Amino acid sequence: MPNDPIAKPWERITSLLESEDADGLRSLLDELGPADTALAISRIGHDAQSKLLTLIDPTDAADVITEIPEAQAVDLLHHLDANNAALIVDELDSEVRADVLSDLSKGEAEAILEQMPAPLAEDARHLMTYAADSAGGVMITEYVAFRQDQLIRDALDDLQQNQEKYSDFDVQYLYVTDDDGVLVGVMPIRSLLFAPRGRAVRDVMIASPIAVPSDATLDDMRDFFKEHGYVGAPVVDAEGRMVGVLRRAAVQKAIADQGQRGFLRFSGIVGGEEFRSMPLWSRSGRRLSWLSINIVLNIIAASVIAMYTDTLEAVIALAIFLPMISDMSGCSGNQAVAVSMRELSLGLVRANEVARVFMKEIGVGVINGLVLGLLLGGVAWVWKGNPWLGIVVGGALAANTIVAVTLGGALPLLLKKLKLDPALVSGPMLTTVTDMCGFFFALSFATAAMSQLA
Amino acid sequence: MPNDPIAKPWERITSLLESEDADGLRSLLDELGPADTALAISRIGHDAQSKLLTLIDPTDAADVITEIPEAQAVDLLHHLDANNAALIVDELDSEVRADVLSDLSKGEAEAILEQMPAPLAEDARHLMTYAADSAGGVMITEYVAFRQDQLIRDALDDLQQNQEKYSDFDVQYLYVTDDDGVLVGVMPIRSLLFAPRGRAVRDVMIASPIAVPSDATLDDMRDFFKEHGYVGAPVVDAEGRMVGVLRRAAVQKAIADQGQRGFLRFSGIVGGEEFRSMPLWSRSGRRLSWLSINIVLNIIAASVIAMYTDTLEAVIALAIFLPMISDMSGCSGNQAVAVSMRELSLGLVRANEVARVFMKEIGVGVINGLVLGLLLGGVAWVWKGNPWLGIVVGGALAANTIVAVTLGGALPLLLKKLKLDPALVSGPMLTTVTDMCGFFFALSFATAAMSQLA
């Protein structure tokens, strides 16, 4: 263990950087788990981060880049010069390489690609053309393929000669193509051991293997691996040519990442990612961009109240209940939004089934509206000793709960149909409408019952 | 394709069920992807679901159970009699089996376990003792282990003799234990092919393999697979005895599921799961349990307004801005909550670093508070032509944004330290405090500036 093991990891990194102790740094990074590495790196400045990555071997630096969260990795590469960045990017797995290059600015990525060996750069450029959440974006290109007319002997020789290159690959299966690169077969690596060496690969392979198209969505990929027990599967382009290998674990990871980004967008983090190591102005600005839209929507919703100032002036107690009606309806609506988003992502409901969701939610809306309305109405009645205030407040909450629950359930489906992001848009849209309706119900009911209230 | 391919899948299932056409059902289920299967099953009644599962082979029924979401699978088994359920549960993978049994009521699980072959039941009971999100809860028990003093010849014979049993296993590695079952080695299955048959397994194995403890958390497991490139790893108990195999993909899936449940809890779905095929009363009741707590918190928060009715009566315009201050502060706070939950889950911040998060959030709070305060204050000023109203409203929103952002950032850390669930508790707690503070700021500022406002 290098020097003081009681010091915090980032303090140890800082002191090792000062003494330019590359061996010490490597053994410290080996000792730290991925979470501790990410934590420690987030606590040292950009200059120290760049110095760290250039002091250790590119292979070790690539391990660090792979271990830490992607946004942090991109930030690190962004602060390195293209030369050093290219040395590290060379050592990454093909999928991680394409991901980080895609997340850098076009200029930065180009500068790094120009420093990379031509075949690697070409492979990376090709992978970057796929959408991040498509099979092409999730697959790796580290796989071994033979042509169908090669002999088993040649295949074995190739494995021997390229031992070093293939040693990084996670090879359990070999793929077989025709002369145009079209996938025609697959074989477990162990079948090479049993096959007569003079036979052609095509005689040993399992023909017509199942493959995933390169434009398959995450949902398609999840369904594929639910249906088939495989650990991995070949990916083919529109012409059936083999382009990569999709691993079950990579698909699950992409689904988990997508969920995390969705949660952050749902909470108003535009872009779906924010770390506190990002610059203050960028964090503040991105949060503000969403808040500014919200405040405008809030002003629109509150303008309903402005139309009823006479009623409010006469029954000032209503002012106490308006924020409650707004907040409670938002809560009820968000529950329905969350269930719809969950059912959509699991395929249990489809975007065109708004009527079904409405029918399923109206029951919940009526029950919960009645219970919450009775509760809040009772409180209002007891507090002011006026049953009519209870009826107005409770009635408004009950009616608005029904609106919020049915709208909340339907909204994600409608937004998906309109190709808008339900995670980002559902919340603000829902609260604007339910606020307007809630204020309108409470204040118009009160206006109607004015003679009993004032 | 069985009869009318244009009919909706659930209509085709219903008509095949009426004619008791088991073959037709099987080929229809084969043809449907997992998402379509889940969708179709959610659209037929419980009687039809039970009839479907008993009409097809238990193996096919087990495939269905594995393909559909877990909560749906549990609901299906819940409506089957124990005998038929046991036949299907027998055919499940060990991990899925333990999961669905754990989610059934104790009595139901026991009734099914009693019908199962003793070794399977014992294995399932053992797996059910592990926490669902621990390595023991995510691992499978389908693995092949040999004792270290067995000969290679015996190992090969064992593989041959148990070919059928092992064919369902995803075997790439064999595990080696001592006589007490303590894990002492591991070997790739192909190494059996090269080893002299008269040697002992211990001479061929890779000794002292890395293993995951059975009580490792999901974070531990994620870090393990980030650090090691393996597709799977052995799991050992506190005494080092091998108890199962953890697959990378299963860990990623558990992380994705955990994220989904967290999102639902964050939106007020207690228990983290709701499908619209669940009974109305149970859906409504679970949502109400969370809403009831919220309405009580809302009443507490609104009581602040009740203390200032004189001020409100004098400046009725304030009533329009109170819901906006409440809503906007909630939005700002939730952004900070989401970033903290993300950083906590990635290990980029620790539960005891409240001071660090506070320092990182106060900057964002001040900037966003100033911008939003100026915006809303400007609107108030222009609307009523009174700059003092703008100062009161804008000042209150600015001050409360700072409270909301810093509190929102700190809350998940504090809750995690107190072993409370940040997903479920952060939201209600945050909005209660920010509502109270927001109302207090607006109304006390207005009381102080009353001479300029009225």
pLDDT in tens, B319-361: 999 999 999 999 999 999 999 998 988 888 889 999 999 999 9
| Contact of A326 with B407, CB cutoff 8 Å | no
Sequential DSSP letters for A74-106: HHHHHTS-HHHHHHHHHTS-HHHHHHHHHHS-H
Q: From edge to edge, which strands make up the β-sheet containing B183-188?
A: B145-147, B173-177, B183-188, B206-207
Residue B22 CB contacts under 8 Å (≥ 6 apart), including other chains: B55, B56, B57
Measure the CA angle with vertex A110, ends A104 and A116; round to 5°: 105
Reduced to 3 states (helix: H, G, I; strand: E, B; else coil), residue A403 is helix
* pLDDT grade for B296, boundaries at 50, 70 and 90: very high
Q: Please indicate if any CB of chain B lies within 8 Å of the CB of A95.
A: no
> Which CATH architecture group holds A279-453?
Orthogonal Bundle (1.10)
| Contact of B108 with B119, CB cutoff 8 Å | no
Strand B212-213 to strand B232-236: parallel, antiparallel, or no bridges (unpaired)?
A: parallel
Burial of B403 (0-12, 13-18, 19+ CB in 10 A): buried
Inter-chain CB proximity B275 and A343 less than 8 Å: yes
| Contact of B327 with A326, CB cutoff 8 Å | yes
Euclidean distance between CA atoms B49 and B77, whole angstroms: 10
Measured between beta carbons, the chain B residues lying within 8 angstroms of A96 are: none
A163 compared with B151, residue with greater pLDDT: B151
Nearest-CA distance from B286 to chain A in Å? 10
Backbone angles phi, psi at A56, to 5 degrees: -85, 165
* pLDDT grade for A1, boundaries at 50, 70 and 90: very low
Nearest-CA distance from B3 to chain A in Å? 23
Residue A289 CB contacts under 8 Å (≥ 6 apart), including other chains: A270
Is pLDDT above 70 for A141?
yes
Inter-chain CB proximity B67 and A227 less than 8 Å: yes
CATH number of B9-129: 1.25.60.10
| Residue range(s) of every CATH 1.25.60.10 domain in chain A | 9-129
Measured between beta carbons, the chain B residues lying within 8 angstroms of A249 are: 225, 231, 247-249, 251-252
Is pLDDT above 70 for B6?
no
Burial of A194 (0-12, 13-18, 19+ CB in 10 A): exposed
Among A222, A213, A212, A252, smallest CA distance to A345 is for A222
| Contact of A428 with A420, CB cutoff 8 Å | no
Q: What are A29-75's pLDDT values in tens digits?
A: 888 888 888 889 988 888 999 999 999 999 999 999 998 888 889 99
Nearest-CA distance from A321 to chain B in Å? 7
pLDDT recorded at residue A227:
85
Q: Please indicate if any CB of chain B lies within 8 Å of the CB of A31.
A: no
Query: What 8-state DSSP symbol labels residue A182?
Result: B
Nearest-CA distance from B350 to chain A in Å? 9
Measured between beta carbons, the chain B residues lying within 8 angstroms of A319 are: 305, 312, 316, 318-319, 322
CATH number of A145-264: 3.10.580.10
3-state helix, strand, coil in chain B (%, to 5): 70, 5, 25
Q: From edge to edge, which strands make up the β-sheet containing B232-236?
A: B212-213, B232-236, B242-247
How many other C-beta atoms lie within 10 A of the C-beta of residue B8?
A: 13
Backbone angles phi, psi at A90, to 5 degrees: -55, -35
Measured between beta carbons, the chain B residues lying within 8 angstroms of A298 are: 323-324, 327-328
Inter-chain CB proximity A367 and B288 less than 8 Å: yes
ipTM for the complex shown: 0.87
pTM for the predicted model, two decimal places? 0.86
Among A154, A151, A150, smallest CA distance to A179 is for A150
Average pLDDT score over chain B: 90
Q: Please indicate if any CB of chain B lies within 8 Å of the CB of A452.
A: no
Euclidean distance between CA atoms A334 and A129, whole angstroms: 36
Q: Which of A227, A321, A361 to mutate to test the interface with B (most CBs of B within 10 A)?
A: A227
| Contact of A262 with A423, CB cutoff 8 Å | yes
Nearest-CA distance from A110 to chain B in Å? 28
Euclidean distance between CA atoms A340 and B413, whole angstroms: 29
Q: Please indicate if any CB of chain A lies within 8 Å of the CB of B248.
A: yes
Residue B45 CB contacts under 8 Å (≥ 6 apart), including other chains: none
Sequential DSSP letters for B416-429: HHTT--HHHHHHHH
| Contact of A238 with A181, CB cutoff 8 Å | no
Count of CB contacts below 8 A, A vs B?
319
- Residues A278-305: what's their mean pLDDT? 91
> Which CATH architecture group holds B145-247?
Roll (3.10)
Q: From edge to edge, which strands make up the β-sheet containing A232-236?
A: A212-213, A232-236, A242-247
* pLDDT grade for A2, boundaries at 50, 70 and 90: very low
Inter-chain CB proximity B313 and A309 less than 8 Å: no
Instruction: Locate B328 and state its tokens.
Output: 């906007």
Reduced to 3 states (helix: H, G, I; strand: E, B; else coil), residue B159 is helix
Inter-chain CB proximity B227 and A287 less than 8 Å: no
Measured between beta carbons, the chain B residues lying within 8 angstroms of A310 are: none
pLDDT recorded at residue A32:
87
Euclidean distance between CA atoms B4 and B8, whole angstroms: 9
Is pLDDT above 80 for A146?
yes
Nearest-CA distance from A180 to chain B in Å? 31
**Which positions 199-228 of A are in contact with B (Cβ < 8 Å)?**
219, 222-223, 225-227
